[in-house]
Amino acid sequence: MVDLVNKMIRLTGNSINNGLFIGRALHIEVHEHSIERNSIFPEDVDKEISRFLDAIAVVDTEISYDINNTRISDRDLDIIASHRDILHDPELFSMVSTAIREKLQHATVAIQDCFTAIVEKFEALSVESFALRAADYRDVGTRLLNTLTGFSETLPESLGSDKVPIFAEMTPSMVGRLANAKIGAYLSSKGSYNSHASILTRALGLVAIANIGNLKDVVQNDDLLIVDGDEGKLIINPDEETLDYYVQKVQVEELLRQRLEKLKASASLTSDGQKITLYANIGIPEELEGITNLGCDGIGLFRTEFLYLSRQTLPSEDEQYEIYRLMAERMAPTPVTIRTFDLGGDKLAPLGLEGAEENPYLGNRGIRFSLAHHDIFHTQLRAILRASAHGNVRIMFPMIIDVEDFNEAKHIFNHCQEELYSEGVSFNSSIELGAMIEIPSAALEADSLAKACDFLSIGTNDLVQYTLAVDRNNDNVSRYYIQHHPAVLSLIRQTILSAAKFKTPLSVCGEMASLPHYIPLLLGLGVRELSVNPSNYFTVKAIVQKCDHELFQLLSRFDFSGSVQDIEELIYKDLKHYYQI
């Protein structure tokens, strides 16, 4: 019998993954290491350094154990495995051992101080990508300290699959443990959507909400919780009516999920038989297995800069080659569209390569960054070209402003081809080159780009940001971030017309292509290729299958020069029956 004595409370946070889960709260206490700070004797220095080395070996074995024994798939485990890079970082080893030797610190103190210094350095940069690094370092540092202090970070026995564990902050290794324990949802006081822990959470299908403040005073162990990941809402001790509503919603979602999965075998055709190509977007190679299970038409966007996310340095040519080759082989004969690094902006400016920029979104971002760092660009292009011998690989350049920009990138690409040719290395000499249309100038010059490129892809996320001059990550101005704004749609239409004129394949790979209410609009405007977020893949397919010639007729008559309200009326009224599934 459900306990409804306590008062119902609703809180809002940031959804880390969609879905609904109903369960009982369980606060998870994180162990704070109490460490003796007295000095060691000089003759004990070697002993402390070898304790540090032993701890590294133990944590390395733990990581191997997690990799081999966890129920999460290989694709997800690479994130945990990336902690090995930190564990075996020679600079970090030298920092800790120097502190032991010169400051006569215990290994535990040296580890705690060095990791804290690195974590604080990353956090002080207040850039999300560095906050991710901070969390990774904290995770590895804690593991080392746990080993040295004999503390085992096991989950409490009372944590069953009916529970919703509550953490101050999540780590990737903890997400792995939760997955093993078959936990369906968790809450964390801190966290960001793009952290490794969050990426793993989505890959594993756990429902999660972060940033809902300190729950210690509000939630008691065993309180009944509704975790609404769709809305980023937490309901504590729901009343009977609310609980009934969510119990039904959980059942409906499960039925919908089962129904959508049945669409795997069916073709992505509109109800009157037009083929709509459905690609998947991929962020980290670990998602590959899930994507191969979708039965999609290929990968329309591989955000390669995410490769940098799980490590401290950019991957070498051979490392990149292995990743791209694996993807090409697994997806063949369907295409894998590899977007060259879109570094800069809010994304992962490599430490030490760029000074801080006042306007990073208008700065050395995307293709500009690659053109300014020939060595990085050259390494990546060589790796992609080598992988092209193993499947259907395409190359796409981000943040192209015009055809000259594209040609400059192509020039370097040609040079890489010549180089590989003279080295006798095999590659696909007719590999396709494409440009992203995500800056208004590129859309306005879509004719010349459509003529010069083998394919185009509209990145609506940035196209909206740059057309409406609204920072895509700034909540204060989110009301101006109107993806269906007539100015944005006009640029999309112009690009569609240019692509059609030169028979250049065109896809949409920004978030609009994954949002149900925009699918009929995009198809009605003439888009025939969508590259979608894997978790929305079957929903998008179901909507495609409902679209028909009436939709195309309706949109061909529609006056897009009207107001935002006119377009909203179209989307939320006239087109609603297409995306309601």
Q: Which residues are catalytic?
A: 196, 509
**Number of helices and strands in the chain (H, E):** 23, 16
Choose among Mg ion, ligand PEP, none what residue 286 binds, the Cβ cut-off being 5 to 8 Å by kind: none
Choose among ligand PEP, Mg ion, none what residue 13 binds, the Cβ cut-off being 5 to 8 Å by kind: none
- Closest approach of ligand PEP to the CB of residue 302, in Å: 10
Site string (291-310) toward ligand PEP, x via CB under 6 A? ----------x-x-------
Using the minimum distance from each CB to Mg ion, give the nearer residue, 142 or 465.
465
441 part of the interface to ligand PEP, by CB under 6 A? no
Distance CA 330, CA 298 (A): 10
8-state DSSP, 374: H
Site string (319-358) toward ligand PEP, x via CB under 6 A? -----------------------x----------------
Quote the tokens at residue 195: 């952290």
Residues 447-506 that bind Mg ion (CB under 5 A): 459, 462
Using the minimum distance from each CB to Mg ion, give the nearer residue, 56 or 439.
439
How many other C-beta atoms can be found within 10 angstroms of the C-beta atom of residue 178? 25
232 part of the interface to ligand PEP, by CB under 6 A? no
Window of 13-21, 87-95, 455-463, 495-503 that interacts with ligand PEP by CB under 6 A:
455-463
What is the end-to-end Cα distance of the chain in Å, rounded?
34
- Closest approach of Mg ion to the CB of residue 161, in Å: 39
One-letter amino acid identity for 322? E
DSSP string for 439-508? SHHHHHTHHHHHHH-SEEEE-HHHHHHHHTT--TT-GGGGGG--TT-HHHHHHHHHHHHHHHHTT--EEE
How many other C-beta atoms can be found within 10 angstroms of the C-beta atom of residue 421? 13
- Closest approach of ligand PEP to the CB of residue 460, in Å: 5
484 part of the interface to ligand PEP, by CB under 6 A? no
Using the minimum distance from each CB to Mg ion, give the nearer residue, 174 or 439.
439
Which one of residues 448, 461, 490, 494 is an interface residue with ligand PEP (CB under 6 A)?
461
- Closest approach of ligand PEP to the CB of residue 200, in Å: 19
Choose among Mg ion, ligand PEP, none what residue 509 binds, the Cβ cut-off being 5 to 8 Å by kind: ligand PEP
510 part of the interface to ligand PEP, by CB under 6 A? yes
Distances (CA, A) of 222 to 7, 162, 168, 300: 14, 10, 18, 45
Choose among ligand PEP, Mg ion, none what residue 534 binds, the Cβ cut-off being 5 to 8 Å by kind: none
Total residues at interface with ligand PEP (CB under 6 A) = 10
Distance CA 237, CA 218 (A): 11
460 part of the interface to ligand PEP, by CB under 6 A? yes
Site string (426-445) toward Mg ion, x via CB under 5 A? ------------x-------
Distance CA 505, CA 525 (A): 15
238 part of the interface to ligand PEP, by CB under 6 A? no
- Closest approach of ligand PEP to the CB of residue 139, in Å: 26
Residue 380 near residue 318 (C-beta atoms within 8 A): no
Distances (CA, A) of 455 to 319, 433, 504: 27, 7, 5
Using the minimum distance from each CB to ligand PEP, give the nearer residue, 106 or 303.
303
- Closest approach of ligand PEP to the CB of residue 56, in Å: 35
CA 100 to chain centre: 38
> With helix as H, strand as E and coil as C, how does 60-106 read?
HHHHHHHHHHCCCCHHHHHHHHCHHHHHCCHHHHHHHHHHHHHHCCC
Using the minimum distance from each CB to ligand PEP, give the nearer residue, 51 or 339.
339
Using the minimum distance from each CB to ligand PEP, give the nearer residue, 123 or 432.
432
Quote the tokens at residue 396: 């796409």
Window of 124-132, 174-182, 404-412, 459-467 that interacts with ligand PEP by CB under 6 A:
459-467
Which one of residues 438, 495, 542, 567 is an interface residue with ligand PEP (CB under 6 A)?
438
In the complex, which residue's CB is closest to Mg ion? Answer: 462
Q: Helices 172-180 & 128-149, crossing angle to 10 degrees?
A: 70
Q: Which residues pair with 162 in a beta bridge?
A: none
Which one of residues 462, 485, 515, 519 is an interface residue with ligand PEP (CB under 6 A)?
462
459 part of the interface to ligand PEP, by CB under 6 A? yes
The answer for residues whose C-beta is within 8 angstroms of residue 172's C-beta and 6 or more apart is 79, 80, 83, 135, 136, 139, 196, 197, 200
Q: Which residues pair with 99 in a beta bridge?
A: none
The answer for residues whose C-beta is within 8 angstroms of residue 91's C-beta and 6 or more apart is none
Footprint of Mg ion (CB under 5 A):
438, 459, 462
Footprint of ligand PEP (CB under 6 A):
301, 303, 342, 438, 459-462, 509-510
